[in-house]
Structure formats: structure tokens, C-alpha cells
Structure 1
Amino acid sequence: MINMDVFHGFLEAIRHLPEMAQPTAMTDAERVAKAKSVMRAKTDRSLALDLEACVNCGYCSESCHFFQSTQDAKYSPSRKLDLLRRVHARETSAFAPIKRLFVSDITVNDLKEWQELVYDSCTECGRCSMICPMGINTARGVNVMREALYEAGLAPLELTAVAQEQAGRGTVFGVGPEQLQQTVDLLRGQGIAIPLNEPRADVMLVTTVIDVLLYQDALAATARILNHLGVNWTLRSKGFEAANFGLLAGSESLQKAATQRIVDEALAIGAKTVIVPECGHAYPALRWDGRLSDGQSLPFEVLATAEYVGREVSAGRLHLTPGDATRKITYHDACKLARHGGVMKEPRAALAALGMDVRETSPTAEKNWCCGGGAGAFLINRAEGLRHKAWEIKREQIDATGADTVVVSCGSCRLNFMAGAEKVQWETKIESVVELVAAQLPSK
């Protein structure tokens, strides 16, 4: 059961994040120079092709939840790469000497304007990239813009504050090893066995600040499932935090440092599998971007919790007791899991085993609409109204299914659904895959 006082306390902490940030002092010229340096360095052949391939067809706008919910042309995904295009045209394109004659240079005011476009109004959900007839990877371009703005000291203060905390103190929202121990002790007091800091284990589970503070039932449910399966697993105090605010803010160095903590602990215990919690961005941060210090691929498998549970159900190793067949549920695909990661059939296999009436939204799976809260957008205070408008699209699609429950596999999605539901008094229940599965484990 979610403690709503803790939820509201978490929202209040978000409101005060800007006060915690340590802004970087730079002249306007220095900010522009740093941003352009990142843009030039990141514009490889693939990105250059993307920047030059846009034919302004508008399909990306039709696929974007921020554009569709506002009908404001400034939120068109293709426009979000315009600064990158200008720098490329002037400095890295084949005709740069000529284009410099009529393409204006970027300014610090441009950078400040683009902060809203690549942070507040883009969750890097990838739907525009999937729809684009030219195959332009807009999400990657937006990520490069975030890196440029971060290096220029122009990332949102909320994301800067948490990224600085994670890098400097090794905590997120004040949650570190001590707070993890307290939550583990609490769950152990409920009779749930949770191995902590075991020297060897086949499976290493990582969690997030959200689960430690708010969604403790999700952590408990994952532990119960692993214990039910007889898995040799552990949590590690020095590498438990899956949330990666370097990735969200746009700092490549901080992103790598946060990932390295997890990698080091997994290597230390000889883990064969690392299970990422219900956290959308944590999945690609480790699975797709994670590397060994020498750049080699990780020697262990990385799975999302819903992916792992679905695999075990499909393989016949995890049997569930059928639940209420009259209960109507629908599944919300987290963008980073489904569209970016291909994790679609596994959560559905788990939900099908529950014996409930599972209904799909339209569209669904890889064409699913984003809830509007991912990629750190939920933490940006000024984006609240825009984020809620985007969420309304998702709410309408869920209402159309007639489901009484929406099931999620991402903590950020869950936060955004909860905030949206409270704002409009939405009565649809919001559950997580892992909690529903754990609730129907058979007795041994």
C-alpha cells in the first residue's frame, strides 16, 4: 500500500530541488563555446545524416504527445534539432564555408530557449523516430542537445541538483546505503528474506530511490518472486541505485560514473544477471550504454524486472495462481522498455498468467503513447502543466479500454500516473507488474 504522505513529501522535495543546485558560473561566450564543442564532437556520420535528412513532412509532430496536446508548433520534434542543424551547417557540413555566409550562429539566448524544448517537452520516448519516414533518430539528437546544455551550465536546476548529489555524495534524494539498510530491515520484519551484501551471487538486484522511499511494496514483491524461484541473489549497498541522473541531466561523465558503481559490484560478486527495477531510463542506461572500463561489453545479462518475470512465466518456472477473471486490466508500455528495448511480450506473458481480463490500448506496444513523465520531465517543476496535458492523451486511451486498472513497469510512469490521477480525481487503479505477480504466487 502506497503511503500518500510519503508521495506528497516526495513531490514537495521536488519543488525545492532548484535551491540545492550549484550553478556553474560562465560568461555567455563560454556557454556558447562549450555547447558548440559538444555538438561538434557528437556529430558523427549517423547524426549528420539525420540532421540533413529531414524533409519537414510533419509526421513526427503527429506522433508527439507534447505537440498533440498543445498544437504548438514549437514542440514539433524536428524543430528540437534546429540548433544542432545550424551548428552542423556552419561548422561540420560539406558546405560549411558557404553556409556560414547565410546561416546565423547560435547564441546563449538560443540555448536558453532550447532548454524547454529538449528537457520539459521531450521524454526521448522515440515515437517520433519510429514514425519518421526518413528514419531520423530524433531522440539521439535531443540527448546530444541535453549534453550540450549541461556542459554550458544550462540544464534544468532540478536535474542538475540530483546529478550533483549523486556524483558528490553518492545519494539520490538523500537515499544511500543507510536508508537502504533501513528499508531492508523493515521488509525483513515483514518476514521477507532479503540478502544484502552477499559476497557471491548469481543475480544482483538493483533498486531505486523511489522504491526505497515510496514503492517499497515493489521491492518486497521482487524479493518474494526471487525467493520463490530459489534464486541465489543479493542487493549491494555500494551499487544499488539504478536511477542515473547523469543520463537524465546530460552529463556523460556522471552517467558513466553512476553505471560503473553497479558494474563494479556485479563483477565483484560474479553476477551472471543484473535485474533492473521498475525504472524506465535505468534499463537503457545499463543494458545499452553500460560498458566495462576498457569499453568491452558487460559479461552479465541485464534484464528489467518485468522482462525477467515474464521470461520465468514463459519458461514454465514461475507458476501463478489465477486471480479474479472479472477484473479488467490494461498495460502501459514504458517507452524505454518497449520502443527502445523491445520488452513487450514478457510483461504481457506475466499479465496473461494472472487470469484477468487483459485489454490493450489503441495504439499499443511499440506504438504506445508516452505518459509524459519520463527522461526526468517529472522532476522539472515548470513542466507540470505541459506534462499533465500530455498525460491526458494516455488517460483517454486507457479509459477507452474500459479497464479498471492500469499496470505499469516503470516508477517514473507510475509517479506521473499518480500525479495525474490525483489532479483530476481519476478512479482507475494504478498497479505494477511485479506487485500483481507477487500477489498471486502459489503457496509452497
Structure 2
Amino acid sequence: MSTATATTPVFPTFEQVYQGLAGQIGMLREMAPQPTKSDEQRLKGAVDTLIEETNADEAVWLESCIHCGQCTNACHYFQATGEAKYAPMRKMDLYRRVYQREISPMRWWHRLVSKPVKLSDFEEASELIYDSCSECGRCTMVCPMGIDTASLVHHMRSAMVAAELVPPELAALRMEQKNMGTVFGSSPDALKQMVDTIREQAGVEIPLDKDKADVMVLSSAVDLVANGNGLLATAKIMNHLGIDWTIRSDGFESANFGLLSGDMSLWKHQVDPIIEAAQKVGAKTLVIAECGHAYPALRWNPMLSSGELPFEMMYMSEFLGKQAKAGNLKLRPLEGKVTYHDPCKTGRRGGAFDEPRAVLKAMDADLVELPANKEYNWCCGGGAGIFLLENATRLRDESFKIKIREVNDTGAESVVVSCASCRLNFEAGRQKNHWDKQLHSLVELVADHLIEDETTARGQARGAAA
């Protein structure tokens, strides 16, 4: 079976995919569930959640802020707007009030001098907790007291779930994933259909539901519903390497709207089948698709003990980087000057900096770094589900202008990203601002630059037959 070339128009362009997905996102607000509990129950649930999730670390962080303002220099939303309410330290004011009144050592005093928390306080906090915090971790990096604001924001999101105050877009997708196990309709049947489409139209084999495999890979809703290019690229690379791999219909979805909304039970509910599937096939490696929030949802999941798992988890860019460093990826040179955008979750909060750059080096790329790069990289502004939220449009658009200026300063012709959320937000910013830069997915870029020879052809045959 012949392999399609890089120019074979198997699927829509990402620009077309974005336009279609934007239409679906616009309908989410109408699908969001309405509150089912009384205001008293919602308030109590929010407060009880914060109390339950506040341990020693959280207590120290809430007690430690010295209001130095360093975090404001690191926050893209504050820098883009100059509005004081978006300062990271202010996003914790409500959490701090609950902590002080309910469980702090001086709670007796705080109950005398502060007002009881109301449900309206949580309603007002929604913009700070969802719209203006991508949990990128840049503020934590510069905080002299080591306060992990992103983690505190996540606890606040858990409280917002209990208060039934999740933004409608996230609420709709949370309920879809909770009740039907799908995201935008991405189901095991959709996976099988996409696998069949890739096999028929691109001539690329994808080993679906193998009983045993050394490597298990994940996909995402963006691939299965709108754009199969990511899965196609992954298959090309795995077959090129001659790896014994599979994708499983009982554990394939990278997206986790439990993590994004703050629903801890859904977070775990989505992770468990993936772990079980990887164990079932005896995988040595689990490769997480280009889905930034899937990285902490799986690899840094507090509900998992990674030391007890019989396989290694790594992000797609990490996997590709290791293969490049080992000399296993045979790649054609990449033309033109490029820059690379580090996803916050895999870069600053995960440390995966060298691997994607090793891939670009293997393509002899003319890589010019952004003025602020690696751990200092500015967030694109759409992380933690913000690229979905209509109410966050102004903040998202204004903060993205930081990326535009940074990329323009490099003189690069194109930007390489390795996160679907980043790519969607970049595409939105590119279209809105009539920006002339090209966008590339790292995994798709690698697939398009593979050098096929007799050695890799034999490897592909071994991988397909395994």
C-alpha cells in the first residue's frame, strides 16, 4: 500500500478546521446545563470544596503573599490590559477570605472583622478564575515566596464546579464528556471511522486495538471531529520508525474537561480508562497527543502514582525529541526561518524544552528564539480552556498581541507549536489580526519531512505486521 505524499490533500487545512470548530464552539453556550441546586447549597458546596482541598501547601501560599507585585510583571493578561484586577495576587482574594474565616489559625478574629462569603462573591470571581488565568505558571516562576497561583486557581475552579458556576462553554463540554464520554462527538466509532478514512485515502496503516504493543498513542477531539492530520502524521512517524504501536478505542481521548473545569471526579474518570488500556496492552510508553492540558492531566496527575505505573508517559514533542536525539528520525531540511512557541504546560510547568528543539535541529531548521523563550515564554492567552470562552474574547485577543510582537521581532516566517489549544488560539489571532505568519504543528511538520528509504520502508513493514 503506497504512502501519501506531504502534498496529498487528505483532510481540510487547519484554517478550515478552525473556522468549522469556531462555529461549534459558538453553539456551546446554548447547550450548557442550568443550576440544579439552591443558592444555599451551591455556596456551601463551594466553601466546603475549598476547605477540603486546602492542605499545608495551600495554607502556606495563602498566608505568604507580601504584595510585592512581581507577579503582575509576569502575567500576560495584566500586561496586555494594565488593569489592576487581573494581577495574579488578586485572583486569590476570595479563596483567602474563605481560608481566613473557616480554617486559618486566626479564624476567630477574621470572623469578627470580615463579612461572610456570599454566592455573589463566587459569581463575581468567575472572570478572574476562568477568563483571566490560563494557569500558565509564569507568575509562580517570579514569586519570591514561591506561591503557586495556578494551583490555587485550580482549587477555585473546583469550588466553582460545586457552585455550578462553570462558564457555559466548559460546562457543556464537561457534561458531554461526563454523560457520553465524548468531546464534540469524538467517540470510539469516530476513531474507527477516521482510521478507515486514513487507510483508504492516505494509504497509511494504523494498528487499532492491538492486544499487545510497546507504544500506545493518544489522539484528540480536534483530530477525530474536524482534522485527521494529527493522527495521520502520528501514524506516518510511528510506521517510519518501525515501532510496535497501537491506538486503543477504549482509551484514546487526550482532552480532559474535568481538569479544565475543575471537576476532580471527571478528571479521574477520564484518566482511568487510558491507564487501564495501556496496562492491558503491556505498553512500555504512553505518548500523549499534541494537547497541552492533557500533559498535566496524565503525567502530573496528583491522583496517580507514576512510580507504580509499568510504563513511561511522555508528550508527543518529548517522544519526537528522543527519537531525533537517537538518530532514528531521518528528516529533510526545513526551509525558511522559524520560531518555536513553548506550550506552558509542557514547557514551563513540565520542563520539555530541549526535545522539540532537537526535532527542529534534525531538520536543519533556521530556528530563531522568541525574545522571551523556554521558561520565560509568554503564554498565548488561550490555555486552560480560555480559547473556548466567549466572555474571555477581549482578554484573549489583547494578550495574544504580546505573541504577535514577540514573533515579529524574530523575523521568522512561521511559528511551530506542539499544542492543539495553542494552535487554535494562534490561528484565531492570525485571522483576526490579518497576520502574515504561517503556523505549523510539530508532529505534522515531522511527518511532512520524513525521508523514506529502503531501511525505513522495511521498518514500516515490520511495524504494520507486528
| Shorter-chain TM band | over 0.9
Rounded to whole Å, the distance in 2 between the matches of 1:421 and 1:101 is 52
Between the aligned partners of 1:150 and 1:299, the Cα distance in structure 2 is 33
Question: In structure 1, what is the equivalent of residue 319 of structure 2?
Answer: 308
Match of 1:204, SS?
Answer: strand
Q: Structure 2: how far apart are the matches of 1:261 and 1:219?
A: 20
Which one scores higher on RCO, CA 8 angstroms, separation ≥ 6?
A: 2
Offset at residue 296 of structure 1 (A): 6.8
1:227 pairs, out of 220, 227, 239, with: 239
Q: Which amino acid aligns with 1:359?
A: V
Provide, for residues 96-122 of structure 1, a one-character-per-residue CA deviation record: whole Å limited to 9, x for no partner. Answer: 111211022211111001111010111
What does residue 409 of structure 2 align with? 400
Please point out which of 359, 364, 378 is paired with 1:355. 364
**CA-to-aligned-CA distance 1:374-411 (integer Å, 9 cap, x gap):** 10001111111210111110111011000000000000
The separation in 1 between residues aligned to 2:68 and 2:234, in whole angstroms, is: 45
1:62 to 73, 79, 83: 73
Say which is worse superposed, 159-168 or 15-24, in terms of deviation: 15-24
Q: Deviations over 1:329-379 (max 9, x none)?
A: 000000000011100000000011111210000110011000001100011
The 3-state SS of whatever aligns with 2:216 is strand
Flag as ranges the 4+ runs of structure 1 deviating above 3 A: 3-6, 294-297
1:32 aligns with 2:43: yes
1:384 partnered with 2:393: yes
Secondary structure of the 1:100 match is helix
SS in 2 for 1:337: coil
Match of 1:212 in 2: 224
Q: Measure, in 2, the Cα distance between the counterparts of 1:242 and 1:3.
A: 19
Aligned mates of 1:291, 1:229 — CA distance in 2: 33
| Match 1:287 to one of 299, 314, 329 | 299
SS of 1:87's partner is helix
8 Å CA contact 1:259–1:290 kept in 2: the answer is no
Aligned twin of 1:164: 175
- Supply the distance in 2 between the matched residues of 1:430 and 1:4 (Cα, whole angstroms): 10
For residue 406 of structure 1, give the secondary structure of its aligned residue in structure 2.
strand
Q: Look up the SS of the partner of 1:330 in the other structure.
A: strand
- What secondary structure sits across from 1:335 in the alignment? coil
Partner of 1:43: 54
**1:273-323 Cα distance to aligned partner (Å, 9 max, x none):** 11011110001100010655x997432111111110001111222232223
The worse-fitting range, judged by mean Cα deviation, of 414-423 and 103-112 is 103-112
Aligned letter for 1:279? Answer: C
1:174 aligns with 2:185: yes
Tell me the SS of whatever aligns to 1:271. Answer: coil
Alignment partner, residue 280 of structure 2:
268
Which amino acid counterpart does residue 8 of structure 1 have in structure 2? Q
Question: 1:125, 1:370 within 8 Å by CA — same for their partners in 2?
Answer: yes
Name the SS of the counterpart of 2:34 in structure 1.
coil
Distance across 1 between alignment mates of 2:165 and 2:258: 14
Whole-Å Cα distance in 1 between the matches of residues 47 and 104 of structure 2? Answer: 14
Which of residues 336, 339, 344 is equivalent to 2:353? 344
Aligned residues: 441
- 1:3 CA drift (Å): 5.2
**1:111 paired residue number:** 122
Structure-1 separation of matches of 2:223 and 2:394: 25
Q: What CA distance in whole angstroms lies between the structure 1 residues aligned with 2:409 and 2:16?
A: 31
Verify the 8 A CA contact 1:290 1:297 in the aligned structure 2. no
TM-score w.r.t. the length of structure 1 is 0.97
Q: Are the counterparts in 1 of residues 17 and 227 from structure 2 also a CA contact under 8 Å? A: no
Aligned equivalents of 2:226 and 2:372: distance in 1?
30
Residue 72 of structure 1: aligned partner:
83
The reply on whether 1:202 has 2:214 as its aligned counterpart is yes
Q: Which runs of 5+ in 1 are unaligned?
A: none
Which of 254, 260, 274 is matched with 1:248 structurally?
A: 260
CA contact (8 A) 2:18 2:427 kept: no
Distance of 2:382 and 2:438 partners within structure 1 = 18
Whole-Å separation in 1 of the counterparts to 2:192 and 2:178: 21
Q: Give SS of 1:302's match.
A: strand
Q: Is this contact kept in 1: 2:15–2:427, CA < 8 A?
A: no
Give RMSD over aligned pairs.
1.4
Name stretches of at least 5 consecutive residues in structure 2 with no aligned partner. Answer: 1-11, 454-466
SS at match of 2:339: strand
Q: Is the 8 A contact 1:291 1:298 kept in 2?
A: no
Q: Does the 8 A contact of 2:321 with 2:358 survive in 1? A: yes
2:193 is the counterpart of 1:186: no
Q: Which position in structure 2 is the counterpart of 1:86? A: 97
Q: 1:295 to 1:273 in 2, by over 3 A?
A: closer
Three-state SS of the structure 1 residue aligned to 2:41 is helix
How far does residue 414 in structure 1 lie from its aligned partner after superposition?
0.2
Whole-angstrom distance in 2 between the partners of 1:180 and 1:295: 28
Question: Residues of 2 paired with 1:379 and 1:354: CA distance?
Answer: 33
- 8 A contact 1:195–1:233 mirrored in 2: yes
In 2, Cα distance between the equivalents of 1:133 and 1:277? Answer: 34
1:176, distance to aligned residue in structure 2 (A): 0.6
1-structure distance, mates of 2:273, 2:222: 18
Q: Assess, with a 3 A threshold, how the Cα gap between structure 1 residues 33 and 290 changes in structure 2: closer, same or farther.
A: closer
Structure 2 match to 1:15: 26
